[in-house]
Amino acid sequence: MKPVFEQTPQRQWESFHCEEVRGPGYGATWHFHPEFQITLVLKSTGYRLVGDNITPLAPGDLVLVGSNLPHVWQQDPEGGRTVVHAIVVRFLDTSLGRDFLEIPEAAAVKRLLRGAGRGLRVTGQTRDMAAAGVLRLATAKGLRRITELLGVLETLAHSRELEPIASAGFVPSLASEDQGRMERVIAHIHAHLTGEIDRTTVARAAHLSAGAFSRFFKLRTGKTLPEYVNELRVGRACRLLADENRKVTDVALDCGFRNLPNFNRRFREITRQTPREYRRQLQRSASGQPA
């Protein structure tokens, strides 16, 4: 998928941008920008796509996205009354001064940003500490904005609880001339996610032959159409499995899988767990028991 370049809406009085997102969605398409981005999800029932990785969203999800790494956060349109609440921080490596990262005290932060090219998911106690800093940053004024951002970066820079997101071989394709074509394809996939999605029909939406579409899609997403669709469906299933009253069979059907064995197989390929094991893990986490 070729992402579109997005201009960060930085205001004249700020050296970096911080915004609180509230509403029915994130208001963004698949995009990239030169700024690094920290996103803290406080409420959402969708998924995030960073590079070639698709992951269901949950409250507390905290990610550092590297410069020019394609990404998008999407709210599940069938998330009921759940609305998005997130904090997004965008900054350049020169936001605090062109030579700031060259001073000895900033060496760890410089290494952190250099390692963010695949995106970094923040976990454990580091997530709790950094999330608290992002929350403070969202309401800070004046120089406190700078100190809070530095505090978050310092916390991340000295942590071992960061996990790469995109695969090691992911190479983004940053041209945007066929953005409209890719948006039509994605819109078609989402509109038919619970039904039949075949290559010929999706190729028609892209105004390509089936063979040309397969090459186009694989080049831009790093995945085949079935792989991409299955990851989206399994991501939706992860959210639905949190409802203990839903039968696993019903979840499979609601996510576009026509039979339970296929659902179980695809779910395990992607999550390394069966749907029932995943549900039990959710239940243990909710009760405070060790996973």
Q: Are residues 221 and 109 in the same domain?
A: no
Question: Which distant-in-sequence residues (6+ apart) come within 8 Å of 199 by Cβ?
Answer: 210, 213, 214, 225
> CA 157 → CA 116, 129, 161, distances in Å?
11, 12, 10
190 vs 193: CA distance, rounded Å: 5
Q: Are residues 13 and 144 in the same domain?
A: yes
Candidates 89, 159, 90, 91; CA nearest to 127 is 159
47 vs 236: CA distance, rounded Å: 8
Q: Are residues 142 and 62 in the same domain?
A: yes
Q: Are residues 40 and 142 in the same domain?
A: yes
Q: 290 pLDDT exceeds 50?
A: no
Q: Are residues 26 and 128 in the same domain?
A: yes
On whether residue 127 sits in a domain, the answer given is yes
In this predicted structure, what is the pLDDT of residue 265? Answer: 93
Task: Please state, for a pLDDT cut of 70, what percent of the chain lies above it.
Answer: 86
CB count within 10 Å of CB 229 equals: 18
Domain range for 225: 179-287
Where among 164, 193, 211 does a domain terminate? 164
On whether residue 254 sits in a domain, the answer given is yes
pTM score, two decimals?
Answer: 0.63
pLDDT confidence band for 145 (50 / 70 / 90): very high
CATH number of the domain bearing residue 104: 2.60.120.10
Beta bridge partners of 171: none
On whether residue 171 sits in a domain, the answer given is no
In this predicted structure, what is the pLDDT of residue 238? Answer: 80
Q: 159 pLDDT exceeds 90?
A: yes
Q: Are residues 28 and 141 in the same domain?
A: yes
**Three-state SS at 235:** helix
Number of domains, the chain: 2
Beta bridge partners of 89: 18, 38
Q: Are residues 117 and 146 in the same domain?
A: yes
124, burial (CB in 10 Å: exposed 0-12, middle 13-18, buried 19+):
exposed
The contacts found for 227-230 with CB under 8 angstroms, 24 or more apart, are 228/54, 228/189, 229/189, 229/193, 229/197, 229/256, 230/266, 230/269, 230/270
Least confident segment among 20-29, 79-88, 90-99: 79-88
Mean pLDDT of the chain: 84
Q: Are residues 126 and 33 in the same domain?
A: yes
On whether residue 170 sits in a domain, the answer given is no
Q: 215 pLDDT exceeds 70?
A: yes
pLDDT in tens, 38-91: 999 999 988 888 887 888 888 999 999 998 888 889 887 665 566 899 999 999
In this predicted structure, what is the pLDDT of residue 291? Answer: 45
In this predicted structure, what is the pLDDT of residue 59? Answer: 92
Q: Are residues 19 and 136 in the same domain?
A: yes
Q: Which residue has the higher pLDDT, 133 or 27?
A: 133
CATH number of the domain bearing residue 229: 1.10.10.60
Q: Are residues 145 and 184 in the same domain?
A: no
On whether residue 172 sits in a domain, the answer given is no
Q: Are residues 203 and 101 in the same domain?
A: no
> CA 38 → CA 16, 119, 137, 214, 231, distances in Å?
12, 10, 11, 33, 24
Strand order in the sheet with 120-122: 17-23, 84-91, 36-43, 62-65, 120-122, 162-164
pLDDT in tens, 160-176: 999 999 887 666 554 55
Q: Are residues 160 and 216 in the same domain?
A: no
The first and second tokens of residue 273, run together, are: 């767990």
Mind giving me the DSSP string for 4-65?
A: EE------TT-SSEEEEEEESS----SEE-SSEEEEEEEE-SSEEEETTEEEE--TT-EEEE
